[in-house]
């Protein structure tokens, strides 16, 4: 079943354009869990600046957002993504009123290796997760393309077309026990900002501390990941 919700009132935004969400140009679903995918949410005029200002990470995977590692246009985009107006606009499409009042946690990924993308649901401390993709182009491959899934042990049990991580594509979902998602392994670049709305400030503090501690581990694992996870099961999952 596909449910298209009415678009909430326009918000005063500088870089993002959320007007496609909730129209025939966006995919909005409420089963088997709430999610949406909308393309063209960033004007092409910002692409060069965001390319220049994207953090130059050496580690693979999602890393804690640090404004000091990013340029001004990137920081402005993160400020907008974490604003109450954007949170409320996203929440309205996912059946969560006033989502913008909850604390946000931002992480950023520039590259992946074969250890990333196993099927999972997000932890219960997350209410909603949004992914804004910033890759300029994408090869003719499914590797690295987000998939919303029916089953936790079947990467091919798609409930919607896979999401190509192209510039300006926004995907968001409401956390549930069956909000299964993942992607086929990729060893290469895929630019994305992840914003999670969390249940409490305590949860944010806990995740922030954990993210900082895990960065050193990710650096080490990132050196080995392309070699030791290359033959992973395509249906691999983690709890």
CATH code of the domain in which 207 resides: 2.60.120.620
Q: Is residue 9 part of a domain?
A: no
Which pLDDT does position 10 carry in this prediction?
A: 41
More confident residue, 3 or 37: 37
| Domain span including residue 65 | 27-228
Q: Is residue 85 part of a domain?
A: yes
Residue 11 has pLDDT above 70, yes or no: no
Q: How far apart are CA 43 and CA 124, in angstroms?
A: 33
Which pLDDT does position 223 carry in this prediction?
A: 52
Percent of the chain's residues with pLDDT above 90? 67
Residue 71 has pLDDT above 90, yes or no: yes
Q: Into how many domains does the chain fold?
A: 1
Q: How far apart are CA 41 and CA 144, in angstroms?
A: 20
Which pLDDT does position 209 carry in this prediction?
A: 82
Q: Is residue 21 part of a domain?
A: no
Q: Is residue 138 part of a domain?
A: yes
Which pLDDT does position 208 carry in this prediction?
A: 86
Mean pLDDT, range 149-173, rounded to an integer: 96
Q: What band does 222 get if pLDDT is binned at 50, 70 and 90?
A: low
Q: What is the pTM of this model?
A: 0.87
Which pLDDT does position 14 carry in this prediction?
A: 79
Which pLDDT does position 9 carry in this prediction?
A: 39
Percent of the chain's residues with pLDDT above 70? 82
Q: Is residue 195 part of a domain?
A: yes
Which pLDDT does position 214 carry in this prediction?
A: 65
Q: What is the pLDDT of residues 73-90, one digit of tens each?
A: 999 999 999 999 999 999
**Summary mean pLDDT of the chain:** 86
Q: Is residue 19 part of a domain?
A: no
Q: Is residue 91 part of a domain?
A: yes
Q: Is residue 11 part of a domain?
A: no
């Amino acid at each position: 079943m596909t449910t298209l919700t009415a678009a909430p009132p326009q918000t005063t935004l500088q870089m993002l354009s959320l007007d496609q969400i909730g129209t025939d140009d966006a995919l909005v679903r409420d089963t088997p869990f709430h999610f949406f995918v909308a393309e063209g949410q960033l004007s092409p005029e910002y692409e060069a600046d965001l390319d220049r200002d994207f953090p130059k990470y050496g580690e693979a995977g999602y890393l804690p957002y640090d404004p000091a590692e990013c340029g001004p246009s990137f920081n402005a985009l993160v400020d907008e993504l974490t604003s109450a107006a954007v949170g409320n606009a996203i929440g309205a499409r996912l059946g969560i009123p006033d989502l913008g009042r909850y604390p946000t946690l931002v992480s950023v990924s520039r590259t992946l290796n074969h250890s990333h993308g196993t099927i999972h649901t997000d932890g219960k401390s997350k209410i909603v997760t949004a992914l804004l993709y910033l890759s300029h182009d994408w090869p003719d491959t499914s590797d690295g393309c987000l998939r919303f899934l029916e089953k936790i042990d079947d990467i091919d049990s798609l409930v919607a077309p896979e999401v190509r991580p192209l510039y300006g594509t926004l995907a968001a979902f409401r956390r549930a026990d069956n909000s299964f998602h993942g992607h086929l392994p990729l060893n290469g670049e895929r630019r994305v900002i992840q914003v999670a709305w969390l249940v409490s400030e305590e949860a944010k503090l806990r995740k922030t501390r954990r993210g900082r501690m895990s960065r050193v581990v990710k650096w080490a694992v990132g050196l080995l990941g392309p070699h030791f996870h290359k033959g992973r099961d395509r249906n691999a999952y983690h709890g």
